[in-house]
Amino acid sequence: MDFHHQALIAGSGPAPDGLRRNQGSPNICTLMPTRTIITMPAYRAEKTLERTYREIPPRYVDEVLVVDDASPDDTVGVARQLGLPVRRHPENRGYGGNQKTCYDWALERGADIVVLLHPDYQYAPHRVPALIEPILTGQADFTFGSRFVDGGRPLKGGMPFYRYVGNRFTTAVENLSLGTSFAELHSGMKAYSRRFLQLINYRQFSDHFIFDSQLVIRAILLDFRIQEVPIPTHYSEDSSSVDVVNSVKYIFGTFLALYRGLRDREHIWQECNERAGTIES
């Protein structure tokens, strides 16, 4: 996959005029080629990895990277048979730890846009072009696939009922607390601009599933431009799924991350401004 887009990439990151709030300067966009890399955080994905990969529209992506989190199956072998670059953790680091390796690696390889796509075929690979379009055109810093927006019906797509209820309840509490109106805030299909990942400081987040909530909450608190993109729901016997007990733990972990984010909001802004200064110097 070797296609470089000509696109408008926003140069200001969150909030207009860098990260300083209450500054009315407009975003400045620059025409430049962009390199899009899909990262796959894999665990026990030998049965679904190839199908997921084959349905990625190749002309929109420059490279696909697989990070295996010490799977006991042949996920690594399948990735290598497909000719994909693969890294394997010698020990299981958790879902968040896997994402950290994904993003570090993609940035090292010069990605301007980084896509997170689970290799378990739970999310629709053919929607990658729609996912990256708002970033390519300078309208967003961070996008995610939403199974609920625009009248989506995830239950018909096989989403377990307890996950449906947990998702709706948690998203409603977050929207109320953060002053947002997203249809869903808990999706495993995401895309980010390079600058977003450089500024969000994802390395300090948890190595476990709560990583996703920490990232989304911080992105909202920092006023990054975020867009939901409609995607269908795919659940099958081979799709990964958190059980009821861990889903409840995830919900409470999300509320704790929300409380801490709101409590530490000024510090988060200060830290992010410092990171922006370091990147620009």
- Residue pLDDT, tens place only, 69-93: 999 999 999 999 999 999 999 999 9
Q: Give residue limits of the domains in the chain.
A: 33-280
Digit-coded pLDDT (tens) for 33-69: 689 999 999 999 999 999 999 999 999 999 999 999 9
pLDDT score for 239 = 56
Q: Which residue has the higher pLDDT, 27 or 215?
A: 215
pLDDT tens per residue across span 209-262: 999 999 999 999 999 999 999 998 777 666 555 688 888 999 999 999 999 999
Query: Which CATH code is given to the segment(s) 33-280?
Result: 3.90.550.10
Confidence class for position 5, pLDDT limits 50, 70, 90: very low
Concatenated DSSP letters for the chain?
----EEEEEESS-SSSSTT-TT--PPP-EEEEEE-EEEEEEESS-TTTHHHHHHTS-GGG-SEEEEEE-S-SSSHHHHHHHTT--EEE-SS--HHHHHHHHHHHHHHHTT-SEEEE--TTS-S-GGGHHHHHHHHHTTS-SEEEEESSGGG--TTTTT--HHHHHHHHHHHHHHHHHHT---S-S--S-EEEEHHHHHHHTGGGS-SSTTHHHHHHHHHHHTT--EEEEE------TTS----HHHHHHHHHHHHHHHHHHHHTHHHHHHHHHHHHHHHH-
